[in-house]
Every structure is written in C-alpha cells, then in structure tokens.
Structure 1
C-alpha cells in the first residue's frame, strides 16, 4: 500500500463523498475512484458501501481507517523529525482573534505531544485579515474562519458552525428562537475596515453593505453591541456575558473553521499540522 493511496482513502472516509474528497485533495474524481478501487482489490474487500448520495464505511473500511491514520501519522512524524534534523524546525501559525474556541486548545496539546521538538510560533491577527498574515508571507499556515478569498490557497475545513445575530440581552429580538436577516435590515451593524477581504466582509455583513461602527477585534464587536445597541453576526456556542446573546439565523450558511496554507507548499511541518488539526477538530 502506498502512503498516497492511503491519504486518498482517508479523505474519502472522512468526507464520505468522493466529490468532496476530490475537491479536498485538489484532484478530479475519476482517478480518486480508480485509486480506491485498486486499494479495495489489494485488500480483497470493499471499503465503502456506495449510494447515489455518498458512501459509508464497511467494517473492513473502518479497520483500515484506524490503521491508515496511525500509519500516516507516523509517516508525518518521520518527515518532521528529519526536517528538524536538517534545521527546518520552526512553524509559524496564524490564528484569528478568537480565544474562545476549545478546538484550538485540543490542537495545541496534540501538536505539542506529537512534535515536542518543534518551535511553534503564534501570530494572532485581528478580524480585518482572515488569512492571518498568510498572504503577506508572515505565517506558514492559518487557523481561521471561512469564507474568504481562497485564490492560490489550499483550505481544509475542520468544523462548520451555525451563526446567529449578536444582540444585547434586552433587545426586543433577543427572546426569539430564530431570526431572518431581513428582520435586521433597519439596524446598524458593526463592520470591518475598508479594504478588508470582500468575500469575508460580505459574509459577516449578511450579504449586503451595512452602516455602523468599524471594528477590528472580537472584543470591539462585543462592546459595539453592548454600548451602542448595534448588531452583527457571531458563531453559536461561544460563551458570552449575561448582557449579550446570539439568536440563530435561519437563512445564513454556517461559518467554517479552516486551516489554510499556500497552494503547493510541501513543507512537512505544514502537512503534519493539517493532519493533527483534522483529528483534533473531529473530536
């Protein structure tokens, strides 16, 4: 079994869809399907039960997934140790200003455990740069949120979070179980500075231009709502003060927690980070 084929298999097993796995691997679907069929022939059993809507793992596939993850993890650690021995022992990670995400803590613990000899440098950025310095060449990999302009970047989705309207707890709409964006059309919104990635800006403005205070950091968003009664969007499930609340929006697509890196960058430290992040956010 080749490591590349096992990576293909793991991608399909995690996405449970050949099309999504092909997109994640930056390849077309036919060669991916052929590679999996060849792996099934080599194993001598079906790894997936196929249906028009996707695939599910067979019992044999479940066993292979556990073994493949362990083998690929070991291979990544070998690459990292060799790189460290050659002097490439530093990785700079850009993190979006959002210290409340428990996934970051799990990822940090897992990466330290797997790679104790690697020098990890963190660069936290505000909400005006969703690539966390990646486009500027300041970091090797970004742990951030999408959507944003992904041109020339490779992006791995780690988790999808529903979003809602961030409101004062005494706002008349705060008692609602759900809202639609149209119900916020006459309100002032916090917004990001001019020149911010337009895809990112549009998403967090609910798809249209807004008027209101300019913010750069999460705390500025919270304070703008608390002091000025403005509104904005925020992921559900984060801890807030009793004076604030987030009401689910029924017509907003989720925000994705992602890892992003420069397309074509083969740094083994990045690959190891991505695989560790995928595992950490899966639990």
Structure 2
C-alpha cells in the first residue's frame, strides 16, 4: 500500500465525488478511479458504494479513513522532521541572531542566503549568545551567530569576523569629540553594559581588558534594550562600549573611537558538525557578507611561533 494511494482515498472520502476529488488532486478522473480500484483489490474490500448520482463510504471505507488520516499526518510530521534535520530543498534552517545585530547585517545576510539557497526558508530567532548555544546543542537551532569568547566545544565555526568598539558618551562629556579616547582616561566612570547572563565569557573578557587598560568602572549598570542604554548614557549614568551606530548617533550622544582598538565584537556562525549541510554552508557565507557590510573584517590568526 503506497502513501499516494491512501491520499487519493482520503480525498475521495472527504469529497464523495470523483470529479471534485480529481480536481483537488490535480489529476484526471479515470486514473483516480483506477487507483481506488487497485487499492480495493489490494485490501480485498469494497471501500465505496458507487451509485449513479452519489458515492458513499462503506463500513470498511469509514474504518480505513480513520487510519489513513493518522498515517498521512504521521508521514507529514516525519518529512518535516527530516527537513529540519537536514535543511535542503523546500526545507527550513533555524538560525539564532544576537539582539543587537545591525540592520545592514541582517538585510545583507538574508538577501544573499536567498540567492544561495532559494528553496530553503530561514527561521530567525533573536537570542543571546548563551541562549543560542543551548538551543544549538538541544537541536532547536541549526546554526547560531555568536559573540566570542564563548563555549564552542564540540561545535564547528566559520572564520571569526572582528569589529572594533568605541565608546558612547553624552555630548557634554569632556572626551566627546573626534579624537580617540584612551580607556584609562575613563577610569572611575560608571559603565553601562549588557547583563552577564547574556554572554558570561564575553562579559568577563571585556571587563578584564578594561582593567588591563587602566579602566575600572566606578559602578556597573546593566541594560540590554538599546533605548534604555541610550537613556542611561544621556542621563550621564554611564559610558557604553559598542560598534559605531548606523547613521548619526541619537541627539545628545557622541560615539568616539577607542585608542588602539582594545575592545571588539568577534562574531562567527557555529553549528553542530554532524548536522552540517549545504544550507549551513550557504548561511555561514551569507552571514560573513552581512557582517562585512556592517564593517566587520576577517580576523587574522596569530602567526605560528
């Protein structure tokens, strides 16, 4: 018994009319009649009473309908599960994205991915780095765009792209201007930074660099929403490190580069190696283009000693 025969039977059982059923199935009526006769012959029962003006289910047909619907639903669920496991033609690739991803990165990535894999849909999830890594290992994501350093043990990664960070200051701040700011000159000022739970290793790494460069915050205030971050900086409640804003900064704010670029976002796409597929490769390449469009550059590995 083939699944397509069960589908023909189910549609006819729902329509109780050969002409309408054939139209739903996008086939001619004689082949449909023949497939139903083949199915009855295979099962050894009559599934329909065929009258001159109407078609009715027999008792055997009603019983088969209960089972056929469950079989077809299970088959559809299995197909969807396989598409998610190995994204491909008419498949879906589930991707994690950091909450503060630049619009140009997202636009470029999605546009290029659509060109590279036109038959694959992208299911985007806005998640922090640690949330993405957990979802990746649980199998609810196929790929994740994460910030380093983070725990990528057991995962494969695309090349890391680097974007130097600057400091966001209120325009009346004494260091707000075109000249690069030294981290040590900010020593003692409060810092506005993302909550540690979002990316613990990155959080600790950034603060470690700040201390090494002579900047010890007088206080630390946590914020993840950009509007809240900007409000805190505008209110002189802290300085904030981030990449250059797209376009002009919000009124009352000034973005300044940091001398020698000690802080940076280091970003890559990661995935579970055994789940790698052509769609993952296409996604990683598209993400690299998206990051490059926002000013990220491929990180040069240190030379071997």
Q: Where on the TM-score scale, by shorter chain, does this alignment land: which range?
A: 0.5 to 0.7
Q: Could you list the per-position Cα deviations for residues 50-107 of structure 1 after superposition, in whole angstroms to 9, with x for gaps in the alignment?
A: xxxxxxxxxxxxxxxxxxxxxxxxxxxxxx9x9535x7x1111111112534122111
Partner-residue secondary structure (3-state), 2:275: coil
1:114–1:99 distance in 2 versus 1, CA, 3 Å: same
**Could you tell me which residue of structure 2 aligns to residue 105 of structure 1?**
107
SS at match of 2:241: strand
**Which protein has the larger Cα radius of gyration, Structure 1 or Structure 2?**
2
The correspondence for 1:179, drawn from 174, 178, 181, is 181
TM-score w.r.t. the length of structure 1 is: 0.60
Paired with 2:168 and 2:288, the residues of 1 have a C-alpha distance of 28
Question: Does the C-alpha gap of structure 1 residues 171 and 83 become closer, same or farther in structure 2, counting only changes over 3 Å?
Answer: closer
Q: Which runs of 5+ in 1 are unaligned?
A: 1-79
Name which of 237, 249, 254 aligns with 2:258.
249
Higher share of residues assigned helix: 2
Quote the offset at 1:236 in angstroms.
Answer: 2.6
Shift in Å at residue 178 of structure 1? 1.0
Question: Given the alignment of the two structures, is residue 222 of structure 1 paired with residue 235 of structure 2, yes or no?
Answer: no
Q: Runs of 4+ in structure 1 displaced over 6 angstroms?
A: none
Candidates 275, 278, 293, aligned match of 1:265:
275
Q: TM-score, normalised by structure 2?
A: 0.56
Q: CA RMSD in A?
A: 3.0
SS in 2 for 1:242: coil
* Alpha carbons 1:142, 1:261 under 8 Å: kept: yes
Distance 2:287 2:121 in 1: 17
Q: 1:83 to 1:191 in 2, by over 3 A?
A: closer
Per-residue CA deviations over 1:167-218 (Å, capped at 9, x if unaligned) read: 1112111125011211112111113334443321024434447422211233
Q: Deviations over 1:137-172 (max 9, x none)?
A: 342212243333333333323632121111111211
The corresponding residue for 1:276 is: 286
* Cα deviation, residue 262, structure 1: 2.9
